[in-house]
Amino acid sequence: MKRIVVVGASLCGLRALETLRSEGYAGELVAIGEEPVLPYDRPPLSKQFLKGEWEEDKIALRAQGVEDLSVEWRLGERAERLDAAGRAVVLASGERVPYDAVLLATGSVARQLPIAGDRSGIHLLRHLAHARVLREELARAARVTVVGAGFIGTEVAASCHERGLEVTLVEPLAAPLIRALGPTLGDLVADRFREEGVDLRLGVGVAGFEGPGRVEAVRLADGKTLPTDLVIVGIGVRPATDWLADSGLDVTDGVLCDATGATALPGVFAAGDVARWAAPGGGPARRHEHWTHAVEQGVHVARRILHGSSEGLGLVPYVWSDLFEMRIAIAGEPAADDTMHVAHGSLEERCFLALFGRDDRLVGAGAFRRSRQLHPARRLIAEGASFADAVAANG
């Protein structure tokens, strides 16, 4: 194999490039990235970087540089089309980049509220460029409205509060992080934000924005108006597949792959946020927007390309968040109506491990300031342990 191309200068793409070199690939490597910077770590953007605690050098994924990887970096260039028949990635400039194998690791795109229009002062937070602009604006603001109380929204709201700003967090659902944690634990998060003085507006959506050129207020669906200096929208992401629309790939909620990251097209693989992988033992293909999936899938695809292994990768979802003093970590995929058992602490202390069961199987676990206890629970989920056995093991 003469040339491997990675589309997406991301965490996932970088780990794939590192694995290819460390496991003996000596051919050409090309990395195409729309952002004009080398791969960096995204989680700190909503936390340490936004608060001004870290500068850009602290979020670099390779402090030692990338020269040892011998990669041709095509940064600041956008992939516009995949010509699978001609085995080439077509750039926005019209240039064709040939490949023998290609890894699609373009990640995801932040969703914007369609009612935002072209007013200034309404921000997304997905890329470093977003974070740079937002950090500068926060230095001049007093009141901030955050729309969406998922992971990004809650982290941004906490960071803005810790910067000393007056923060309002708007969420149409009944509690923050309710999709990931369920209502009981979501209410714990809500209580912690209220204790800090964050104004929570739950169960209500955004109806519009006011201000002639720059946002001055947020209109809620219940008729109330929130004066604000700026708005940060954190309502989720979608896979970055627009450029693959005519590629012949199934891109319904991400690029469809088998359990090794291979697509239906020869020599074409996908991993990370953009990819929807089948489970090794069958079952529906799933897409996960988690840091750990990006790393492990990138490594697995690199080995698949090099060694041709047909062994599938079975992963238990794992994600974490830091909100004030609380580290919240979640394994598996708990649902609101699952049976919940609390171990290693209590809800009142906000320091515990919560186990989630469904049909007598352990399907998820959530840890509040108990990350050490979460990892054994994640292994039990991977092993298909019964809920009763998991509860007994954490008694």
Q: Which two tokens stand for residue 297?
A: 């899938």
Secondary structure (H, E, C), 231-288:
EEECCCEEECCHHHCCCCCCCCCCEEECCCCECCCCCEEECHHHEEECCCCCCCCECC
How far from the centroid of its chain's Cα atoms is residue 214's Cα?
A: 29
What's the CA gap between 43 and 87, in Å, rounded? 34
**For residue 326, what are the CA distances in angstroms to 80, 226, 265, 289, 350?**
42, 28, 44, 21, 8
Q: How far apart are CA 379 and CA 222, in angstroms?
A: 45
State the angle between helix axes of 11-22 and 291-307 in degrees (0 to 180), rounded to the nearest 10: 40
Report how far residue 57's alpha carbon sits from residue 59's, in angstroms, rounded to the nearest whole number.
Answer: 6
**pLDDT of the residue at 8:** 97
Domains of the chain and any CATH numbers:
3-109+237-307 (3.50.50.60), 112-233 (3.50.50.60), 325-393 (3.30.390.30)
**Count of residues for the chain?**
395
Give the predicted TM-score (pTM) of the model: 0.94
Continuous H helices in the chain: 11-22, 128-138, 151-162, 178-196, 291-307, 371-383, 387-393
**What end-to-end distance do the CA atoms of the chain give, in Å?**
53
**Buried/exposed 12-34: b ≥16 CB within 10 Å, e otherwise:** bbbbbbbbbeeeebeebbbbbbb
Residues 170, 221: contact at Cβ < 8 Å?
no
Q: In which residue are the tokens 């003093």 written? A: 325
Question: pLDDT 10s digit of each residue in the chain, 395 long?
Answer: 799 999 999 999 999 999 999 999 999 999 999 999 999 999 999 999 999 999 999 999 998 899 999 999 999 999 999 999 999 999 999 999 999 999 999 999 999 998 888 899 999 999 999 999 999 999 999 999 999 999 999 999 999 999 999 999 999 999 999 999 999 999 999 999 999 999 999 999 999 999 999 999 999 999 999 999 999 999 999 999 999 999 999 999 999 999 999 999 999 999 999 999 998 877 789 999 999 999 999 999 999 999 998 889 888 999 999 999 999 999 999 988 999 999 999 999 999 999 999 999 999 999 999 989 999 999 999 999 999 999 999 97
What residues have CB less than 8 Å from 88, skipping those under 6 apart? Answer: 96, 97, 98, 99
